Amino acid sequence: MSDTDSFIQEVTEELRRDRLLRLWRRFGPAVIAGLTLIVLAAAVFSWREHRREEAARETGGRLIAAARIDDPARRAEAFAAVAEAAAPGAALLARMSEAGALADAGKPEEAARLLDAIAADAGADPLWRDLAGWKALMLRAPDMKPEALAEAIAPFAAEGATLRPLALEARAVARLRAGDAKGAREDMAAAMSDPRATAELRERLGALAEALPASGEDGA
């Protein structure tokens, strides 16, 4: 390489370094700030995930501890306390458990009102809402006339309803109590043909069908 070429190369490299230095002075602080924000965001995300995991473990422990309380009234209070502090999903489970404890404590109407509130909660999962509404109805069922109970069960027994097989069974029993053997048979047949019907439910319906008089003997 000649002296001239060497000189040109040195000048070119110097110009390149000078240009890079000017660019760094202009954009370097922004690059550093951006990298800092990325690192901070990652750290915050990691901290939040850790806190969520810790909170979930703590809530799970409190739910288990509440479930182990023998006295149902105290158990209901413990579940209520968990529901107050827990995240939405765990709070819903705690409220459902609280309702069960209230029923065990001899407070079915108080339990039913709590379940009514869950069933009316638009933010809750539809399955939980259906289950809460059903449990509330079953708590009130002993004090209802069979005709009124059969009518109240109707929405749960509709086509496509989540709890349809169970609701059809319950309505069949209500109709039998009301003297409507024909309607009871129809509900039992519909429940038996539902692919979601469990083996236990089919067994109960079979036993109930055997106890019914033959069609025509009851005027149905």
- What pLDDT, in 10s, does the model give residues 141-181? 999 999 999 999 999 999 999 999 999 999 999 999 999 99
| Whether residues 131 and 167 fall in one domain | no
Q: Higher pLDDT residue, 7 or 125?
A: 125
| Whether residues 136 and 194 fall in one domain | no
Q: How confident is the model at residue 47 (pLDDT cuts 50, 70, 90)?
A: very low
Q: Residue 164: which of 200, 136, 139, 201 has the closest Cα?
A: 201
Q: Quickly list H helices, the chain.
A: 3-67, 72-85, 88-104, 108-119, 126-140, 146-157, 164-177, 181-193, 199-211
CA dihedral 14, 18, 21, 27 (to 10 degrees): -140
Q: What is the pLDDT of residue 129?
A: 92
Query: Which residues have a Cβ under 8 Å from the Cβ of 194 and sit 6 or more positions away?
Result: 164, 165, 168
Q: What is the overall mean pLDDT for the chain?
A: 81
81, 112, 143 — which closes off a domain? 143
| Whether residues 138 and 121 fall in one domain | yes
| Whether residues 178 and 199 fall in one domain | yes
Look at residue 80 and tell me if it is in a domain.
Answer: yes
Look at residue 25 and tell me if it is in a domain.
Answer: no
| Whether residues 158 and 110 fall in one domain | no
| Whether residues 152 and 138 fall in one domain | no
Look at residue 11 and tell me if it is in a domain.
Answer: no
| Whether residues 216 and 156 fall in one domain | yes
Look at residue 23 and tell me if it is in a domain.
Answer: no
Look at residue 172 and tell me if it is in a domain.
Answer: yes
Q: Higher pLDDT residue, 196 or 89?
A: 196
The total of structural domains in the chain comes to 2
User: Which residue range(s) make up the domain with 208?
Assistant: 146-220
| Whether residues 130 and 218 fall in one domain | no
| Exposed / middle / buried, residue 153 (Cβ in 10 Å: 0-12, 13-18, 19+) | buried
Query: Is the pLDDT reported for residue 30 higher than 80?
Result: no
101, 119, 143 — which closes off a domain? 143
Q: What is the pLDDT of residue 13?
A: 61
| Whether residues 125 and 203 fall in one domain | no
Alpha carbon distance 55, 42 (integer Å): 20
| Whether residues 56 and 125 fall in one domain | yes
88, 116, 143 — which closes off a domain? 143
